Chains A and B, each alone.
Chain A
């Protein structure tokens, strides 16, 4: 074999060995944004799983895209060992025109190794709509920038069926604070509060919106046509402050004149939006085939049953925990029911509620000695999607112990086993108390209220009487004045009787006494001491001369008649009596110095 042949063989072997030793290493290529506008810059990175002996990969020329090496840096490799590193090469990518540009796969050599990259699609499209101040519309319609939609998946529902509701607040302004909701409450559609905010960014009509999603649910309590009232959303728009380096605040849609006009120099503003109302048709639950154990649960549920003990004796209590989970209305359901509660004494269950389940702690006491096995516990719900009732039956996981012994113990106490428990009560009464006809209760009778009111009449009467009595005690002249009038009235009536009876002497005597007593009381002297002189001195200064002379005339007539009363004209006597009445009446209106009224 010649030298040349050996050389060729050696060369072939060397090339083959070198080729065999050289590796085809995959490496990852990625770009920081898949969509950019023409002229905007994106950043491309190639990660080589080798940290030394590598050279900068040379990128091939791609039409309408400028790719330039920017920098390289080592980076810890992911998922291998903690001390292995990779090298990252960064490139600036600037598209010149719109279009979809595939970048890669590339294959390049570095040292003895060959590297191959993946392919990425680079989308270049026109920039999202940006309104310059010159193009800005003069009217700033709120709906162009933020609005509220209510998403109700079903508008025809069954009673008690819980329907989720999503309230979507669309805004091209992401910094909203103090978001609150208010909604007119309906008596028949019960809406739970909106919560669980979820933020999503979407592009709509060439505008980028942040969608704030708030979930709630409602259910109807009666069948019919109802309206889900509009939801009013209140919130505060917050203007982001500039960065520390003076950079502009980050907005979804920068340079929007809407916000410039809306906010100006301020940093926040209150806003309010309202959703549309939704009409809901509520159907009644089917009556046919409705199990007796149905207690209002509507949805799709599972039912599990546990007990706090495995066995139980009569008169002991076990606490059963019935847990209902699934999807549906937990607010409109009740605890599962016992198949046959005879001999059992269930107590009121304690309810523990979580987000997607509800559990009932149900104390259950075995009371009857006759019970041989624990009954089933039934939970029935209505499935609105299948439109039928489903009953889940669970056996109570508790064994009954010592039944025989207990029965024996009870039978020793006077009760016979296998017989219904005897009601041991005191005997009936054989004599009737009455019978009484049915009456209104006492508080409905007039007498009750009469007795209640009487003190309110008595108390002020007594107080007024006492005050009057005290006043008269302290004012004797006023008392004398009152007494004089009353005595005079009484005496005039007595004189009238004497006149009718024809008792002439008695009449004049009484008239004389009337005047004497009246004047005596008024001037506070003894009536026996009243004379014509008394009238001149004590009465005339207060009543005048004319009245004084009339009084004296009466006295004079009476005095003379006492000795010759016979033959007097009854008409004249009647006239005199009237005159006496007039005189007293006029004197009652005169104020005497000592009266102190």
Chain B
């Protein structure tokens, strides 16, 4: 009996502790509004601290990333601002404010993003699909994918008008390939993409401090991480140049939208 009472007592304490903790802890919305207040009063460092706190608590929001990018931009941290805007574009791909501020942040970069080695067709497709999110890209891809599957089934069952079916199948297949390009690009960016956050970084030929420098790289530039280890990232610029940078100088994009 005493044992049962003791267990009941412990459970009650735990439940009351959890309840009080939940009551004291501010909600995500509270932190958001506190951060907004700090931003509007010009306390950008405090706003950054609160937005980062919101982010580290597992909250994903395009607006949070947008405001965080603004706060970083106000404190002249171009790299982190561009990183936040890039993450925000995963959620708010067509937000005009975001697009404008992101473009403005890019003009402040000491060196523009390296030109990609992709073909002009791929670049044009990526430009067109730049205003849709990863989820939307995947949706479009799946719709065309199912259209192609339906066409194949129809061709197999119908067995008439084969020329028309073949023409349709070619058109749908081409559409599928085009739809796959932004999906692959966005997945690759989400998995491997990173933004330089230090103002300037010497890209080394080997992963150690004394190694010869291959080329400098500036804050805000987008790169792809191709290898990680021992505090160094092996990165590749969009134009194909490869080198090592300290892990602390870059941050992965990794948005989930």
Contacts and interface: CB of A to CB of B under 8 A. Distances in A.
A429 B206 contact: no
Contacts of B110: 341, 345-346
24 contacts: A221-B211, A296-B212, A334-B214, A346-B216, A423-B74, A423-B76, A428-B67, A428-B70, A428-B71, A429-B63, A429-B66, A432-B28, A433-B61, A433-B62, A433-B63, A435-B54, A437-B60, A442-B138, A443-B138, A448-B138, A455-B145, A455-B149, A459-B152, A463-B157
Contacts of A458: 149, 153
Contacts of B60: 434-439
B148 to A, nearest CB: 8
B161 interface: no
B91 interface: yes
Secondary structure dominating the interface of A:
loop
Contact of B59 (A160, A435, A452, A463): A435
Interface in A112-148: none
A448 B137 CA distance: 12
Interface string A274-294: 000000000011000000000
A334 B62 contact: no
B176 to A, nearest CB: 11
Contacts of B187: 441, 443
Given A432-B64, A434-B63, A435-B54, 8 more contacts: A160-B212, A221-B211, A222-B206, A335-B216, A435-B32, A437-B60, A458-B149, A463-B156
A423 B110 CA distance: 15
A331 B92 CA distance: 46
Interface in B234-257: 255-257
Interface string A440-481: 111100001001100100110011001000000000000000
Contact of B157 (A347, A427, A443, A462): A462
A435 B210 contact: no
Interface string A406-433: 0000000000000000011111111111
Interface of B: 28-29, 32, 36, 39-40, 54, 58-64, 66-67, 70-71, 73-74, 76, 91-92, 97, 100-101, 104-105, 110-111, 134-135, 138, 142, 145-146, 148-149, 152-153, 156-157, 183, 187, 190, 200, 202, 205-206, 208, 210-216, 255-257
B253 to A, nearest CB: 11
A374 interface: no
A426 B92 CA distance: 15
A452 B40 CA distance: 47
A434 B40 CA distance: 21
Contacts of A440: 256
A159 B211 CA distance: 9
A429 B74 CA distance: 15
Interface residues of A, number: 48
Contacts of A439: 60, 256
A435 B156 contact: no
Contact of B145 (A159, A438, A452, A462): A452
Nearest to A429: B63
Contacts of A587: none
Interface residues of B: mostly helix, strand, loop or mixed? helix
A584 B153 CA distance: 38
A296 B100 contact: no
Nearest to B254: A441
Contact of B153 (A221, A442, A462): A462
Contacts of A334: 202, 212-214, 216
Contacts of B91: 433
A505 B10 CA distance: 73
Given A428-B36, A438-B256, A442-B134, A296 B63 contact: no
A296 B210 contact: yes
A439 B254 CA distance: 11
Nearest to A420: B76
B134 to A, nearest CB: 7
A295 interface: yes
Given A425-B101, A436-B60, A284 B70 contact: no
B62 A348 contact: no
A334 B216 CA distance: 9
A341 B66 CA distance: 29
Given A426-B100, A462-B157, A160 B210 contact: yes
Nearest to B213: A334
Name the residue in A221, A333, A439 with the highest tally of chain B Cβ atoms < 10 Å from its Cβ.
A221
A427 to B, nearest CB: 8
Nearest to A463: B156
A332 interface: yes
B210 A442 contact: no
Nearest to A365: B110
Nearest to B204: A296
A333 B212 contact: yes
A427 B42 CA distance: 12
A219 to B, nearest CB: 9
Contact of B58 (A160, A332, A438): A438
Looking at A333, A346, A455, the one whose CB has the most chain B CB atoms below 10 A away is: A455
Nearest to A434: B61
B63 A432 contact: yes
A425 B73 contact: yes
Closest 10 A/B residue pairs (Cβ): A455-B149, A332-B212, A334-B213, A435-B59, A426-B97, A296-B212, A462-B153, A435-B28, A428-B67, A434-B61
Contact of B104 (A331, A347, A425, A438): A425
B152 A295 contact: no
A233 to B, nearest CB: 29
